Amino acid sequence: MQAIDYSNYYWQDDRVRLRTTLPEDWPTVYHMEFDSAARRRLNYEQALPPTEENRKSRTDKVANFNEESGSLAFIVETLDGQPLGFIGLNSIDERHGTFSIGMQITPAECGKGYGTAAMRILMRYAFYERRLHKYYGSVIEDNVASATMLKKLGCVQEGVRREQIYMSGRYWDEVLFGLTADEFRERDKSRG
């Protein structure tokens, strides 16, 4: 097969590339399920122990942008093809123009800006190509890294649902964030 020329590829920036999730990607995500703290911050619950069969089935469900899954699932990778994690455009509501994004980066690569870069690519797609109007998301109160990333992207803290999430023997606040297309566009222009 001919080498792919990525020089004009929409789904990348100078740090990361997004590509479709394929059935054979299940081991990448399966191994990430053993990071219980990250999974708790992502799903607001302590997950049961992962199984290979469950991960294979869930990966098959979202593979190749299966529209019936309700999510556009991507693998986040370096420009030389090393997997860094996953990201998904979720909860797309065409009527109201809203969406959310879920993401997990491997523990060894967290804090290096890969997640922010992947979020920016996916937000550009949602706002500029899908004509969606507003991103909404939330973080559990102790997830400082994700809250910082969302603020870096221009998201505004819109509120707090006090004691909304029960986990680890106590109630946690859920911090709500939002970003409109106009806010994103203004911030994106200033980045050059």
Average pLDDT over residues 161-189: 95
pTM to 2 decimal places: 0.91
Quote the CA–CA distance of 187 and 168 in Å, as a whole number.
37
pLDDT in tens, 130-162: 999 999 999 999 999 999 999 999 999 999 999
pLDDT digits (tens, 9 = 90+) for 81-128: 999 999 999 999 999 999 999 999 998 898 999 999 999 999 999 999
- Res 135: pLDDT: 98
Closest by CA position to 89, among listed 113, 69, 114, 60: 69
Interval 39-72: pLDDT, tens: 888 889 888 999 999 999 989 999 888 777 778 9
User: How far is 45 from 148, CA to CA, in rounded Å?
Assistant: 21
Q: What is the CATH number of domain 16-190?
A: 3.40.630.30
What residue spans define the domains of the chain?
16-190
Residue 1 vs residues 4, 9, 22, 78: alpha-carbon distances, Å: 9, 18, 19, 21
- What pLDDT sits at residue 126? 97
Average pLDDT over residues 157-173: 96
